[in-house]
Structure 1
Amino acid sequence: MEELKQFWGHGAAKAWERFGEGMFKPLAALVILAMAILMSYLQKLDLEREMIYSIMRSFLQLSLVGFILEFIFKQKNPLWIIAIYLFMVLVAGYTAGKRAKHIPNSSVVAGFSILVGTFLTMNLLIWLNVFPITPQFIIPVAGMMVGNSMTTTGVTLKRLRDDLRTQQNMVETALALGATPRQAIIRQVKKSLVIALSPALDNAKIVGLITLPGAMTGLIMGGQSPLKAIQLQMVIMNMLLGASTLASIISTYIICRFVFTKTYQLKTEILVAE
């Protein structure tokens, strides 16, 4: 707490001054938002308020995160890194779980899967000495992994739930013939994983040909050599795909405990229509 008081007493004022000096470009970019709002109005899309709300919310969130990271980057206490990481996992688990709201404890399943998948990937990268254990590296890297794992896990759970509902007879027939819950839904599991991971795989195929990813673009715009930027991007792509795959697969193993009753029947919550 003493570190926090010192930061808000002295460092926050300097951080705010630097923040204000760099606001010209973000404010100038609002011209693009105004154009989008105008187009929405002319086309009668009724999205003007949503656009304004979204951009204001993102501005406030990013500003708050900026000040928090400014403080954390000056500290050497690893507890701050752990706290930020767990908060990101908590939010990601809740968000991914909402995609499959008809699955009991979907947020818990998603959160635990994301936690395990990203934790294992992060520790492997640290063990291989790919990234140093500093807030400047760990927090952004963890954020990217958690965000991508959230997307793939959410899609996996939602698709799996939809297939279980529409293919109830197939699943219960397999159970009646002696299949275990995992064996009974293996076809639906594979399909949901393929669908969830396909966008990441397609993205990896066209990177550099169509898109220049954010990390690579940021380094190049910051004056780094394109070759160094490419090397970092290769690491990030492998990292994101690995964490997302782990999290998604783990979620399909855990979900068997929540979609079946003790008598090996699909729970009624799963079968409810949207």
Structure 2
Amino acid sequence: MDNSTLLRLGPNAWILLVVFLVLAAVVWRSALQRPPLQMLFAGVRALIQLAAVALVIGWLSGRGALAFAFVALMFAVGVWTSGHRVAPGGRWWMAAFPMAAGVVPVAVLMFAFGVLPFSALAIIAVLGQQIGGSMSTLTLSGRRIRDELGLRRGEVEAAVALGFVWPQARLMVARPIAGEAVLPSIDQTRTAGLVTLPGAFVGMILGGASPLDAGLIQLLVLISLLLVNAVTASLALWLWAHNLWLPRTAH
């Protein structure tokens, strides 16, 4: 096997991609009753975007300052995607606050400690992972909190009738389930090296890095994601507690 890649690439890899995508769409439709075009569109879009991103990253090599513009684009897309999942028809742009609260302080600390170099590839790779993790956490936690508050609205109103203010009443109902979106990150960190071998870790080993250095880098990424995702979920909860995801007319 070629040591430059983990998998054997070639015509068979492209054929397998199509097989995987079609099977995923079939299961998505037959078992989960979801539109298959949704799955197919996601796969084709990922192909086009990854090809474009590969070209952009190659062009940005050595241009660290411009990498921040690309990261800003990634952040904007993440806000749009997660915001419309959490608050369709509402204040979807509020997604920028929990995502920024999770990603920005962690990035600043990594730069301040000199751990994250001023390199385009490093900036895009590391901050991209953090933005992606924050986006996923916000989507899961925000939707879960929204649904819980809707299902248990009577309990919230009962708490208000007993003298609690609305944010306190919503927190009492939503807080126990707000952190569930962070559990996958916790499990991934707890089982790293036992259940899964993260891609960055494997890639660094194949690239010639020492196992100790590769492990430390991957550990920094995993632990930073724990902080990013915990902060994101906390801010999503706070925004729902104060009903800031909804238009003013819905308050």
Normalised TM-score (structure 1) = 0.76
Q: Which residue of 2 aligns with 1:111?
A: 96
Structure 2 runs not aligned, ≥5 long: 1-7
Task: Write the mapping of 1:23-102 to structure 2, written as runs, cut at 5 A.
Answer: 25=9, 27-36=11-20, 53-76=41-64, 78=65, 80-102=66-88
In structure 1, how many angstroms separate the alpha carbons of the residues matched to 2:119 and 2:27? 48
Higher mean C-alpha deviation, range 249-258 or range 158-167: 249-258
What letter is aligned with 2:47?
F
Q: Does structure 2 conserve the Cα–Cα contact (< 8 Å) formed by 1:104 and 1:258?
A: no
Pick one of 132, 143, 162 that aligns with 1:177. Answer: 162
Q: Which residue identity is paired with 1:59?
A: L
SS in structure 2 of the partner of residue 25 of structure 1: coil
Larger-gyration structure (1/2): 1
1:210 aligns with 2:206: no
In the aligned structure 2, how far is the partner of 1:97 from the partner of 1:115? 13
**Deviation, structure 1 residue 26:** 5.3
C-alpha displacement of 1:50: 6.5
From the superposition, tell whether residues 55 and 28 of structure 1 become closer, same or farther in structure 2 (CA, over 3 Å).
farther
The letter for the 2-side match of 1:153 is L
**Structure 1 vs Structure 2: percent identity of aligned residues?**
25
Instruction: Give the CA deviation at 1:205.
Output: 1.6
- C-alpha distance in 1 between matches for 2:146 and 2:24: 35
Distance 2:160 2:243 in 1: 15
Could you tell me which amino acid in structure 1 is paired with residue 78 of structure 2? A
Q: CA deviation at 1:260?
A: 7.6
Superposition deviation, residue 49 in structure 1:
6.8
Deviation at 1:125, TM superposition (A): 1.3
Instruction: State the Cα distance separating 1:85 from its structure 2 match.
Output: 1.7
Quote the offset at 1:99 in angstroms: 2.3
Q: How does 1:148-227 map to 2 (within 5 A)?
A: 148-227=133-212
Letter of the 2:156 counterpart:
V
Q: In the aligned structure 2, how far is the partner of 1:35 from the partner of 1:261?
A: 43
Query: Which residue does the alignment assign to 2:250?
Result: 267
What is the CA–CA distance in structure 2 between the aligned matches of 1:41 and 1:195, rounded to whole Å?
A: 27
**Contact (CA 8 Å) 2:160, 2:169: kept in 1 or not?**
yes
The one of the two structures with greater contact order (alpha-carbon pairs below 8 A, sep at least 6) is: 2
CA distance in 1, matches of 2:25, 2:53: 32
Q: Using structure 2 for the length normalisation, give the TM-score.
A: 0.82
- d(CA) in 2 for partners of 1:114 and 1:170? 29
Residues 67-114 of structure 1 deviation map (CA, whole Å, 9 limit, x = unaligned): 1111212325x2x22321221111111111232235721x21212211
Letter in 2 for 1:97: G
Shift of 1:240: 0.8
The separation in 1 between residues aligned to 2:25 and 2:159, in whole angstroms, is 53
Helix, strand or coil: the match of 2:209?
coil
> Structure 2: how far apart are the matches of 1:44 and 1:57?
17
Counterpart amino acid of 1:197?
V
**Contact 1:156/1:193 (CA < 8 Å) preserved in 2?**
yes
Note closer, same or farther for the CA distance 1:209–1:71 as it changes in structure 2 (3 Å cut). same
Partner of 2:4: none
Alpha-carbon offset, residue 40 of structure 1: 7.2
- How many corresponding residue pairs? 239
Aligned equivalents of 1:193 and 1:165: distance in 2?
A: 14
Stretches of structure 1 that go unaligned for 5 or more consecutive residues are: 1-23, 269-274
User: Hey, what's the Cα distance between the residues in 2 that align with 1:74 and 1:192?
Assistant: 44
